[in-house]
Amino acid sequence: MSAPRIEVLASAREVAGRAADRISAFLASPAPVLGLATGRTPLAVYTALRDRVATGQLSLAHAICFNLDEYSGLPGGHPASFESYMRRELFGPIGLPDDRWHLPDGDGGPAEARSFEAAIVAAGGIGLQLLGIGRNGHIGFNEPGAAHDSRTRQVRLTEQTRQTNAQDFPANTVVPEYAVTMGIGTILEAREILLMATGTAKAEALAAALQGPVSEAVPASALQRHSRVTVLCDFAAAQLLSCQVASCDPKTALLGLVPSVE
């Protein structure tokens, strides 16, 4: 098991650009299967990918995409659903056919969750999984206490997560209490993982995930068990990190943020 590779960049914009570069390189591989995330952190990544498709630099036409999660109890077409988010931010503008992207069924039961997992296997498994990290260390909607071998399933969202996500919902709309999420065990089966973190609000969670013990109390700490994890973060998110437990990009040491480790 190798430690996550951490690359600290000067701004959230640079983090998004570097993530878009890595995703673009991955999409050049034969039959790429891409795992995608939602939320505010990936928005600039999807903007960059849209621009590259529009200028002919990139194509997702031969890709198959799987999203991490979906809220339960939202009507079809709800603007805060992750289906609407992905149609708006990426799949609609680039014209990706519906049969090439998949989200878990937010109102489905165990059978639908198993079908989602089976679809990933049938596609050949996720080659590159994009992740964000929640303020409480969640990945996908795997909240603290989630088993590290968990599979796709319905989960109850913490009050902190619901309050954080309330700004994505129309005024006076109640954020759902439940969602369906790809499990941590499912996420760890991706051949490569790209974790993005930006902003001071993510600093504590990122440090706990990468430098603390592997624990169900910090879902993202499970990434320490994966052999190919790259972390892209800005200075604000990296402020509590050291290089004593992870490999650091040499540019990080030059910037004086953290000590170099040979």
Residue 136 catalytic?
yes
70 φ, ψ (degrees, to nearest 5): -155, 145
- In order of 176, 185, 198, 237, the CA distances from 148 in angstroms are 24, 6, 24, 24
- Report residue 69: phi and psi, to 5°: -160, 170
Cα–Cα distance, 247 to 4 (Å, whole number): 7
pLDDT over 90 at 3, yes or no: no
- The type of residue at 108 is G
CA pair distance 64, 119, nearest whole angstrom: 10
- Mean pLDDT value across residues 79-101: 97
Tell me the pLDDT tens digit for each residue of 196-220. Answer: 999 999 999 999 999 999 999 999 9
Residues 6+ apart with CB under 8 A from 262: none
CA distance readout (Å), 86 to 113, 149, 175: 20, 27, 18
Q: Which of 69, 70, 83, 234 is catalytic?
A: 69
- State how far the Cα of 250 lies from the Cα of 231, in Å rounded to an integer: 14
Q: Domains, the chain, ranges and CATH?
A: 5-254 (3.40.50.1360)
- Neighbouring-strand partners of residue 66: 35, 102
Catalytic residue among 7, 70, 83, 143: 143
**Helix spans in 28-60 (H):** 43-54
With vertex at residue 1, the alpha carbon angle to CA 236 and CA 210, rounded to the nearest 5 degrees, is 20
Q: Is 143 among the residues known to form the active site?
A: yes
> For residue 105, is pLDDT > 90?
yes
pLDDT single digits (tens) 36-66: 999 999 999 999 999 999 999 999 999 999 9
Active-site residue, 149 included: no
Q: 89 catalytic, yes or no?
A: no
Q: Which residue in the list 67, 83, 138, 165 is annotated as catalytic?
A: 138
N- to C-terminal Cα separation, the chain: 18
Condensed to tens digits (0 to 9), the pLDDT of residues 133-167 reads 999 999 999 999 999 999 999 999 999 999 999 99
Q: Report which residue type is found at 82.
A: F
pTM summary value: 0.92
